Structure formats: structure tokens, C-alpha cells
Structure 1
Amino acid sequence: TTSHRPSALEKAMMFSKIAARQLTARAFSAAAHQPPIKVHGIHARYANAAYVAASKQGLLDQVSGELESLLEATKKHPGLKHLLENPVISREEKSSALETLLSGAASPVTINLLTTMAGNNRLADYDKVVGVYEQLMKATRGEVEATIISADPLTKGQTDQISKAIESELGSAKKVILSTEVDESLIGGLQVQIGDKFLDLSVSSKIDALSRTPV
């Protein structure tokens, strides 16, 4: 019995199926590491690249901590801030200094981000890039920032109750990061800022509305 030898057409079809499966697998793999929200602009470009690289290596939280630690260090050590922002220092000097400073103390993702920014003369925007990266991380963790503005300071019981009410509205997958402010001009009631949404439940806003109502 003679064995069947695949024709050139059959071989081409077989290879095309294998290639299609590989491309599909790569597409799914790439999508799994993309940031959960879309952010745009030059700062987002660096933050997105760092997020994808960190996600692929399972280092999202570690990179977040490293970026925040370095940002805090620039506030405490003027020399470091000077290194990042001084336009007189060459890109090569900045890149070399950062590699020496961070070698063994930070992940390759963080070092690569900083040296890339140094090479593109963008280190002065470091704080903004960190801000965007943290925005991506908050979305990854399902965190939503909410600010409650009241006429009088709120008790812990009141803030806990408000936080639970907001989480109930947003869904169990969201975690509310609540901050409070006091504005005595409100007279009474609350103003609530959740993400980019604003709700004014203050007495002063109701008085303003009444004053604008035609008699």
C-alpha cells in the first residue's frame, strides 16, 4: 500500500492553518497585557509601554512601587531632582547615572523606562508619567476615587456608610477610595465627586437654584 503524500496545495493549507492558530494565540496573549483603559498623549505613551512590559513579566505592582519610591526620592533629595530635570546634563550622562543608581535596586522595566525617557529628553515629565501609570493601576485594581465635600467634618461611621452606598451603586467589582473635604460655604448637605461625575446635594446649591427661579 502506497502512503498518501500531501500535495503542494495541501501543504500550503496546513501551514496556513498553523500560522493562523499562532497569530490568534499571539493576539490573545498581547490583548491580555494591554492596559484596562485608554489614555492618550506623550505621557501615556511611556506609561502604556511600561505597563505592558511589566504585565508580561508579572511585575505590575513592583514597578508601581518603584516608580512611586523614585518620585518620593526626588522630593526629598534635590540632587536627584536636579539630575532628572536639568537640561544642561546630557542625555547620555543622565541615562548612565540612572543605570548606576538603579542597578540591582529596580526592575529592568523601571530602568528601561527611565533610560528611554532620558534618551528622549523627557525626564522632566517623570512625575506625569508616574501619574498616568498609577491611573492604569487603579483601573486594574478596580479602584474608583471619590471625594465627599461637606459643610461639617464627617464621622468615620458616616464616611463608611457613604463609601458602601457608592460601592453598591458602582458594583461589587469596584473599590471606592474615599477622601473628604470641608467647605463651610455649603451650609449643609454634600457634594460628591466620583471620577469625572459631580453631584451637588448641598443646601447652598438649592438656595442658588431657588434664587434663579422667576417669581
Structure 2
Amino acid sequence: MSEKKVSSKIAQPYAEALLETAFSSNNLQKVTDDIQNIKNTISSSAELSRALNNPLLTIKNKQIIINKLFKDKISSLTLNFLMLIIERKRAVLIEAICKQFITLSYNKSGITIANVISSTPFTEQQYSLLVKKVQEIANSKQVQLNVEIDRELIGGFTIQIGSQIIDSSLKGQLKQMASHLEIA
């Protein structure tokens, strides 16, 4: 089993516990916004990511870092949750827990998440058209696109909605051609 699947499996119960707590206290939207902020901060800072993943950094020091970064920016519920995660020596999973939580929260709110990998950034018009198309495909009123740029796709993009994958990338088309040529 890959390391990503293992961390995802471990992150799931934490994300579910936070979702249940946020929902039962009528703070789901606030906590979702907090978690999105935390995820964005961690993924955009290699230094913060290294600190949270550093086994030589003490639990107390990791909590101090998180407290300084987020104390006035997130709810006490979310901050206490982060402190608990660090206390349980799961700081390395914070980003995975955030991703799981966002997915669960959007599902609970009826928002469809589509992970899009593109060879180039979308214009505003392309983005709007893609949102409308994903809404049609998923039969959903609300859609959240998570766009990632991957220059190796050469051209085009891929969309993942749940377990459904739509691959319009040049790389995907070349792979498909190669597999057809091997059969012939």
C-alpha cells in the first residue's frame, strides 16, 4: 500500500471527528474555511511543511509554531483540534487531514469536488465553462474545482469527479494510442 493511501486512511477518522464536532456545534462553514486556510498555508510553505514533518522538533515547538501562525485567524475549535493532532504526534498528517475534511465537508454540504490537472492555467472564461460542464456531468448545483498545473501533460487536462476520470490530455491520448498499437 502506498504511503499516500496509508496517510489518507489514518487521516480519515480525524477528519470525520472534526466534521462531526463542527456540524454538531453549527460551525461547519467556519471550520471548513479555517481548514482551507490551514491547507493553503501549509501547501504554500515548504518551510512550514518541513517543520511539521521534522521528528526532531518537539511537540511543544510545533504547537508554538501553529499557535503563532493561526491563533487570531481560525476558530478556537479548529485551533484546539490542531493542538490535539500535534499532541498525538500526527503533525505529519495535518495536510492530509485537511484534504479529507474538506472533501467530507463539501459532500455534507452538497458540493461536488472535481480535481482538475491542467497543462496550463485556465482563463476566467475557461474556468467558468469548466465549472458549468462539471455541474452537468456531476448533476450538481455547486462545484468546487481543485486545479493543479502539471506541465508534463503536454496539452489538455484531466478531471476527476469521485471515481470518474475524464482524460483529455495529450499525454493520456498518447498512452491510449500506445496501448492500441501494442494490441494490434
Name the TM-score, length of structure 1 as normaliser.
Answer: 0.56
Tell me the CA shift for residue 127 of structure 1.
1.4
CA displacement 1:176-196 (0-9 Å, x = unmatched) = 527486744x6xxx6642323
Q: For 2:141, give the aligned amino acid.
A: A
Aligned to 2:32: 64
Q: Is the 8 A contact 1:63 1:110 kept in 2?
A: yes
User: 1:151-175 CA deviation, whole Å, 9 max, x = no partner?
Assistant: x987765554454333223214342
Partner of 2:4: none
Pick the aligned partner of 2:79 from 93, 108, 111. Answer: 111
CA distance in 2, matches of 1:92, 1:114: 12
Q: Which has the higher contact order (CA 8 A, sep 6+)?
A: 2
What is the aligned-residue RMSD (CA, Å)? 4.0
- Give the TM-score taking structure 2 as reference length: 0.63
Q: Name the larger-Rg structure.
A: 1
In the other structure, the counterpart of 2:17 is 49
Distance in 1 (alpha carbons) for counterparts of 2:139 and 2:94:
34
Structure 1 CA distance for aligned equivalents of residues 124 and 116 of structure 2: 14
Q: Is the 8 A contact 1:167 1:175 kept in 2?
A: yes
Cα offset, 1:126, TM superposition = 1.4
C-alpha spacing 1:43/1:88, structure 2 compared with 1 (3 Å):
same
Q: Distance in 2 between matches of 1:180 and 1:93?
A: 32
How far apart, CA to CA, are the structure 2 residues paired with 1:70 and 1:208?
Answer: 42
Matched, 1:194 2:163: no
Shift of 1:49: 1.0
Q: Matches of residues 70-149 of structure 1 in structure 2 within 5 Å? A: 70-74=38-42, 76=45, 78=47, 82=51, 84-91=52-59, 94=62, 97=64, 101=68, 106-141=74-109, 142-147=111-116
2:67, 2:79 within 8 Å by CA — same for their partners in 1? no
Give the C-alpha shift of residue 69 in structure 1.
3.2
Deviation at 1:145, TM superposition (A): 0.7
What are the ranges of 5 or more consecutive residues in structure 2 without an aligned counterpart? 1-7
* Paired-residue identity, %: 15
Q: Aligned equivalents of 1:105 and 1:67: distance in 2?
A: 11
Find the residue that maps to 1:144 and give its secondary structure.
strand
Which runs of no fewer than 5 residues in structure 1 stay unpaired?
A: 1-39
Q: Which residue of 1 aligns with 2:181?
A: 211
Amino acid at match of 1:143: T
